Amino acid sequence: MSAENGRGDETDETYDYVIVGGGTAGCVLADRLTEDPSVRVCVVEGGPSDVGDERILKLRNWINLLDSEFDYGYTTTEQPRGNSHILHSRARVLGGCSSHNTLISFLPLPEDLDEWVERGCAGWGPETILPYRKRLKNRIVPVAEQDRNPIARDFVAAAHQALGVPVVEDFNAQPFPEGTGFFSLAYEPEENKRSSASVAYLHPVLDRPNLTLRLETWAYRLLADAAGALTRVQVREKDGGERVLRAERELLLCAGAIDTPRLLLLSGIGPADQLRGLGIEPLADLPGVGENLLDHPESVIIWETEGPLPPNSAMDSDAGLFLRREAGASRPDLMFHFYQVPFSVNTERLGYPAVEHGVCMTPNVPRARSVGRMWLTSADPTVHPALDFRYFTDPEGHDEQTLVDGMRVARKVAATEPLRSWLRREVAPGPSVTTDAELSEYARRAAHTVYHPAGTCRMGAPDDPLAVVDPELRLRGFDGVRVVDASVFPTMPTINPMVTVLLAAERAADLITGRESVAAGRVER
């Protein structure tokens, strides 16, 4: 029978493992699984290679990749209490978002992983997951001295002086409740080159004969075999040609928190009634597919500087701040990135002036309580899904208040030396915006994303009705399919999540191969 009707034939390309998505997690799995020379692995990646492409490999060029040929550029639905103009960049290139983002690299906090265990994810506690840091191949280091811009140094000094928080030299040295300092990045400071998942994991092994890369190839449907098992994936190549790839052991879905659930839904796996309404015949009624859409929303406050800034930087957002708004809390609940450029895309749209020289602080909600969802609007695979993050809709108003508090904290830091002497004036929202209501209105309308969608195929216990995968990352109701990317997060880690994805992929490699985990000893808290 033909591959088109889902039964496959002798023309199917056959591998032991087919990895859908050559992004952060997919690169890790491709490397680890092909360590066994008898195992055949195929990686399907919708974008081109990053090998030798300085536009990708030069870290400081990240901002020019947004809304470019390397960006899928997903839009959001109307956000009544937020910014409806946010473009959610998703990388279209080998290495995925680790080839596209700023490579800010934090280990997850132990309490973040404890929360996963409490949500039914046995085996994902800090004592199991954090030891995988020993296995990471990326070079992760604090921003190098030559990249520490004087104004960023003075931001750190002013935050320490104004707020009394410690200066942290290495945020990954131990868990932290709060602090300010330069971030750790996955990069090679000597040449400002990325140490992305593709650079660290795939580039050194591209000549392995058991590794096949299918670039600029888009996977859009999973196909069942005669026994009902999902063993095949239908793909479309750059020239429009169709192909079916078959996995004899497992299909590994690593396409990210938007495209992994999108692929499942297009394949008939998700809320059955919704699928029928689009003319898609359900294979499995999994109501959690596309639910639990999480993000790290943040806003922005911009200052014009007295003149041009010194030119040195790793990626123009090299330092930051974490705060506990509640005394005695074990984790921060307010974060800031400090940008050495005026990030004014959203403020200009609101009528605020552009400035040639400036900086900004971005109050960020580390564990937002507003939860959204994504869904298909058409059975046509080329139509983008709908993304509704439901920003700032949590009933308690936690997310909104976090931004309001953050705006006030940012002004306090800006009014403190040595940062104060650099700043000419506050451009957005401007010093006349002072009440909670005014600050909230501005902060929500000027809000943006730091491109951290997660949670849409969440991991959970058997009695969790919205869990899509079990704690071994196996797709509920199917043998031989796992999901390995940020879509499995049951809750959002406090910190930038890239390293959490790397750790999850390293853990997944052990789950897939049956190797023992690297966990040993106690994790210091």
| Catalytic site positions | 452
Q: Quickly list DSSP for 422-481.
A: GEEEEEES-TT--SHHHHHHHHHHT-EE-S--B-TT-B--TT-TT--B-TT-BBTT-SSE
**Alpha carbon distance 44, 62 (integer Å):** 23
HEC readout, 45-86? CCCCCCCCCHHHHEHHHHHHHCCCCCECCEECCCCCCCCCCC
**Alpha carbon distance 343, 358 (integer Å):** 9
Residues 6+ apart with CB under 8 A from 261: 270, 289, 290, 374, 385, 456, 457, 468, 487
Residue 334: name the closest of 412, 223, 424, 225 by CA. Answer: 412
**Alpha carbon distance 300, 352 (integer Å):** 12
Collapsing DSSP to helix, strand or coil, 311 comes out as coil
Residues 6+ apart with CB under 8 A from 476: 284, 286, 467, 468, 469, 470
**Alpha carbon distance 95, 99 (integer Å):** 5
Whether omega for the bond prior to residue 431 falls within 30 degrees of 0, making it cis, is: no
Burial state string for 259-292 with b = 16 or more CB within 10 A and e = fewer than 16: bbbbbbbbbbbbbbebbeeeebebbbebebbbbb
Collapsing DSSP to helix, strand or coil, 340 comes out as coil
Phi, psi of 401, rounded to the nearest 5 degrees:
-65, -30
Phi, psi of 218, rounded to the nearest 5 degrees:
-110, 120
**Alpha carbon distance 114, 108 (integer Å):** 10
Phi, psi of 319, rounded to the nearest 5 degrees:
-135, 165
Asked if 399 and 391 touch (Cβ cutoff 8 Å), the reply is: yes
**Alpha carbon distance 427, 408 (integer Å):** 15
Residue 199 CA from chain centroid, whole number: 18
